[in-house]
Structure 1
């Protein structure tokens, strides 16, 4: 009898935890939620089969009540706020270290420019772009335009 109660409580408890995890953390319907629902259903079925109809009704009502309270608490409280992303990235390319580059300076590409990539000017890496052409790595380039922090380059021929 005690083992039956323990089995029922564990199945329903683990099932409800999996359902809450599905709703809060895992988007869509996945195996986590399906498994949680199956565990709750098996726990209720075992309560009817092993503990009797009257006890099964009580377990069913308790499971529905516990599930409702768990879902209400999960959505209404700040219990999950520590898992939420609250910060946003407001920086932009080349803003943290201002460049002192001028039109006409020459450098070399580090990555392929398709049309954007990385090049080295004055021993520092900078995000650059071409006018639409592909440039392979280690290509000598020249700055043709600087607008705000956008550096446009062309290959040196």
Structure 2
């Protein structure tokens, strides 16, 4: 009888723990949550078969109550917010001093432009792009157009 109680409590406890682990750490419906649901259901079923229907009803009701209270408490206490990403990336490419560059300025590619890459203008790295062509690294490039945050370059022959 004691072994039946221990088995039921362990199966339901591990099942609920696996369901919570899936909700917090594993995105989507995966084997972890399905296994947790199966273990909890087996624990409740063993409670019905080994301990009787009255005790089985009590185990089912207490399992539903405990899991509902755990979820309600976790949402109200905002413990889920510890796992949420709160930081925002407010940086933008070429936002530091884009007005320092001018059309016609010549620089050197740091990486290959396929058609985008990095070029060095006045000792500063900038994200640049070509009009669709390939430019190898360490080649001279000229700015032909600046529009918003895009710097369009061409290879200097």
Q: Same fold, TM exceeding 0.5?
A: yes
| Corresponding position of 1:26 | 26
SS of alignment partner, residue 86 of structure 1: coil
Task: State whether residues 20 and 70 of structure 1, in contact with CA within 8 Å, keep that contact through their aligned partners in structure 2.
Answer: no
What are the ranges of 5 or more consecutive residues in structure 2 without an aligned counterpart?
A: none
| Corresponding position of 1:98 | 97
| Corresponding position of 1:117 | 117
C-alpha separation between the residues in 2 aligned to 1:103 and 1:10?
71
Task: Return the TM-score normalized by structure 2.
Answer: 0.84
Is the aligned partner of 1:145 residue 2:152?
A: no
Task: Return the TM-score normalized by structure 1.
Answer: 0.84
User: CA offset at residue 92 of structure 1?
Assistant: 1.0
Task: State whether residues 11 and 39 of structure 2, in contact with CA within 8 Å, keep that contact through their aligned partners in structure 1.
Answer: yes
Task: State whether residues 24 and 83 of structure 2, in contact with CA within 8 Å, keep that contact through their aligned partners in structure 1.
Answer: no
User: CA offset at residue 136 of structure 1?
Assistant: 2.9
SS of alignment partner, residue 126 of structure 1: strand
Is the aligned partner of 1:72 residue 2:72?
A: yes
C-alpha separation between the residues in 2 aligned to 1:138 and 1:9?
68
Change beyond 3 A, Cα 1:28–1:149: closer
User: CA offset at residue 148 of structure 1?
Assistant: 4.2
Task: State whether residues 108 and 121 of structure 1, in contact with CA within 8 Å, keep that contact through their aligned partners in structure 2.
Answer: yes
Task: State whether residues 145 and 151 of structure 2, in contact with CA within 8 Å, keep that contact through their aligned partners in structure 1.
Answer: yes
C-alpha separation between the residues in 2 aligned to 1:83 and 1:16?
19
What are the ranges of 5 or more consecutive residues in structure 1 without an aligned counterpart?
A: none
SS of alignment partner, residue 125 of structure 2: strand
User: CA offset at residue 123 of structure 1?
Assistant: 3.0
| Corresponding position of 1:54 | 54
C-alpha separation between the residues in 2 aligned to 1:27 and 1:66?
23
User: CA offset at residue 24 of structure 1?
Assistant: 4.2
| Corresponding position of 1:6 | 6
